[in-house]
Amino acid sequence: MRQVHLRACHLCEAICGLRISVEDGKVIGIKGDPEDPLSRGHICPKAIALKDLHEDKDRLRLPIRKKIDKAGLISWEEIGWDEALEETALALVKTLNSYGVDAIGAYFGNPSVHNYGMLTHQNNLFRFFRTKNRFSATSVDQLPHHLVSMWMFGHKSLFPIPDIDRSDYFFMLGANPLASNGSMWTVPDIKNRIKSFKSRGGKLIVIDPRKTETAKVASEHFFIKPGTDVILLAAVLRILIFDLGADGVELKSIIRGLDKVKICLEKFKPEWAETVTGIGANIIRRIAKELYDAPSAICYGRMGVSTQRYGTLCQWLIQLINVVTGNLDKAGGSLFTLPAMDQVPNTRPGGFGRTKSRVRGLPEFDNELPASTLADEILSSGTGQIKALFTGAGNPVLSTPNGSKLDQALETLDFMVSLDFYINETTRHANIILPPTSPLEHDHYDLAFHINSIRNTARFNEPVFEKPSNALHDWEIFSRLGELVATELGLEPRPKFSPAELVDNGLKSGPYGEGKKENLSLEMLRKYPSGIDLGPLKKMLPERLQNPEKKIICDTKEPIEALSRLPVEFEEQSGSDLYLIGRRHVRSNNSWMHNFRRLVKGKNRCTLMMHPEDMEKRDLRDGNAARVTSRVKSIEVSVEACLEIMRGTVSLPHGYGHNRKNIQLSVAETAAGTSCNDITDERYLDKLSGNAAFNGVLVSVENIKVGEK
């Protein structure tokens, strides 16, 4: 009998509503859910791949343990859950007792935030291992957003959300929402939202070294030299404050320290910014004036500005522009969400620089160290050296800078365990892999991305399929490991509650819960499987601010000092080299999505985009093999001639490189590509936060002659 299950897609930040048709235990169709109040029926090609993930023959169903024979050949054997969990718990406790707690490291990939069991129950295990050596995808992605939100608004998760549906002007830097479906901005159906925005007279300005899919539908697009966005933003802010007198209008009474920012802006004249960025001084002035004059306006930047040398300064300047133009906490500008399960008042606000990494002295943020130094902490001997590593839903060999170095480091560990359902480039180093249930086999509430949503909505979905009898959910894996570790240490484990129970409590105590007109609970949400609409984003300041002063803090010491140093330390790089940037495709998000035929079919997408004039200088033709070299390594890749990329810039997508030994990703291996993170530099970081700087990496490109090895 055919059944239709309603479900939110968990594969990217858009969390689109789905209608999944099932017959005889098989998925026979996936369509958008028109009743979902957020996505309104929209889906992208990734959603269809949920069927492929659930049915993938490469997906692990039971725990496996690595075996190495006398010849050094690797194989894997299935083992029972009891044996796998006991062996894991004993190995972690042994490491703790032998070397201390910091000898245990942990890395969590970004799928962790798409699955609420990973978020709610990690601490069932790690409450016993309060190691300094925690790492995650945060520091190769959105760390600057968290840090700026903590500094300015008092909490790491208070993100101003672009209100494009009511805006008049949009100044967008280093973002490509037509490929990403929004990023740090849950905004499904963005293509139609941009179309509607423009049809009512809205103007979209895109700044990017590549004419991206979003740039092609923009009102105007301007190329910018990679890594110089901070100069453009500072110049725009200078014009707004010095020339136009922008001071925050209605926000003025709750702004602290803007005068200190103004002192630092004197040298950022648009004429100097033109020589650095390549964008004309007249254009910079016009953009500033249009931002100032627009009835409502947005300044927003994402991966292209976050993952570069001045990523945190960029995000700080972006929010200052929104503040001084009066467009923060304003309809049509940027507003804060009020999610049904509101974690902001009930979670730590975050902390920065309270400890440093052992080897390179990089600052922690929210009890995590920058992932760029994970390999150092494994390879460098001494007290606190990582001897055992736990990875969860991550593939840092492909997703962190200088992945080859980390690849080599993982070989030296005494013990490694991975919570993952694939043998990939990272988990192939594990001693034990613990596979959780398929996403369609567990219930779902999105804890993370309602915080970033363009509207306040809520939805809870039941599993599409029953959990197999021999399977465990990820939260059950953490719970059982925690119980075993507690027994070994003679301590009490955490009481066992399911994620659904925790969500129910959170909904009832939240802003729409018991005693409120919505009277929201899990029981109520179950009656509305397409979700419920809790309304548009609204003005919430100063009440929503989480610092004691209830002020927008503009004069935090670290960015003020960094801005003051910027004119002196900003030097143009040598002329013969090229700048490497990344790129995103709507059919790809994480490396494991390359194991689905429908998402990788078609022409090769792992190519080095390069302007024809740069190719000609290097005797390259379209489709030639080229050697790309950075400080850390050389790789070989096919070149794609592209008029839509700035001269002096090359672009290579992330997540590829499925050509390492002993992985089991049968589809991905046929479209292996090359890992761009084999040439990104673990020493090239955002100076303020320690976030990885993937964009603006200096590389050289040369032709590989026929017959050359």
pLDDT score for 584 = 87
pLDDT at 573 over 60: no
In contact, 109 and 136? CB cutoff 8 Å: yes
Kindly report, residue by residue over 642-661, the tens digit of the pLDDT: 999 999 999 999 999 999 99
Backbone torsion region of residue 120, taken as left when φ is above 0, otherwise alpha when ψ lies between -120 and 50, otherwise beta? alpha
pLDDT tens string 329-357: 999 999 999 999 999 998 999 999 999 99
Across the range 186-194, mean pLDDT stands at 96
Average pLDDT over residues 617-631: 96
Q: Do 163-330+544-567 and 79-141+364-439+471-489 fall under one CATH topology?
A: no
Distances (CA, A) of 592 to 162, 444, 467, 588: 30, 20, 22, 9
Q: Which of 647, 581, 646 is nearest to 618 (CA)?
A: 647
* In the chain, where the domains are located: 79-141+364-439+471-489, 163-330+544-567, 573-703
Contacts 24+ apart (CB under 8 A), 375-378: 375/402, 375/405, 375/406, 375/408, 375/409, 375/682, 376/682, 377/105, 377/133, 378/105, 378/406, 378/409, 378/410, 378/412, 378/413
pLDDT of the residue at 215: 98
CATH topology of domain 573-703: Barwin-like endoglucanases (2.40.40)
In the predicted structure, residue 707 carries a pLDDT above the cut 60: no
Q: So what's the pLDDT on residue 569?
A: 83
The CB-based long-range contact list for 352-355 (8 Å cut-off, 24+ gap) reads 352/147, 352/150, 352/689, 355/132
Identity at 378, one-letter amino acid code: I
- A 10 A CB-CB count for 116 gives 25
pLDDT above 90: residue 575: no
Q: Are 76 and 67 in contact (CB under 8 A)?
A: yes
Q: What is the pLDDT of residue 576?
A: 61
Q: Per-residue pLDDT for 77 more than 80?
A: yes
Q: For residues 420 and 434, what is the distance between their CA atoms, to the nearest angstrom?
A: 6
pLDDT band at 295 (very low <50, low <70, confident <90, very high): very high
676, burial (CB in 10 Å: exposed 0-12, middle 13-18, buried 19+): buried
For residue 570, the model assigns a pLDDT of 78
Instruction: Determine the pLDDT at residue 588.
Output: 83
Q: Verify cis geometry, omega within 30 degrees of 0, for the bond prior to 160.
A: no
Q: Mean pLDDT over residues 258-286, rounded?
A: 97
Residue 176: CB partners within 8 Å, gap ≥ 6?
Answer: 208, 212, 213, 214, 215, 302, 303, 304, 583, 584
- pLDDT greater than 90 at residue 591: no
pLDDT for 624 beyond 50: yes
Angle, helices 270-277/229-238, rounded to nearest 10 degrees: 170
This prediction's pTM? 0.97
Whether the predicted pLDDT of 565 surpasses 80? yes
Q: SS3 string of 244-286? A: CCCCCHHHHHHEECHHHHHHHCCCCCHHHHHHHHCCCHHHHHH
Band of residue 708 on the pLDDT scale cut at 50, 70, 90: low
- Position 571 confidence tier, pLDDT thresholds 50, 70, 90: low
Q: Domain 79-141+364-439+471-489: give its CATH architecture.
A: 3-Layer(aba) Sandwich (3.40)
* Per-residue pLDDT reduced to its tens digit, 236-248: 999 999 999 999 9
| pLDDT of 706 | 54
φ, ψ of residue 519 to 5 degrees: the values are 50, 50
Q: What percent of the chain has pLDDT over 90?
A: 92
CATH number attached to the domain at 163-330+544-567:
3.40.228.10
Average pLDDT across the chain, whole number: 95
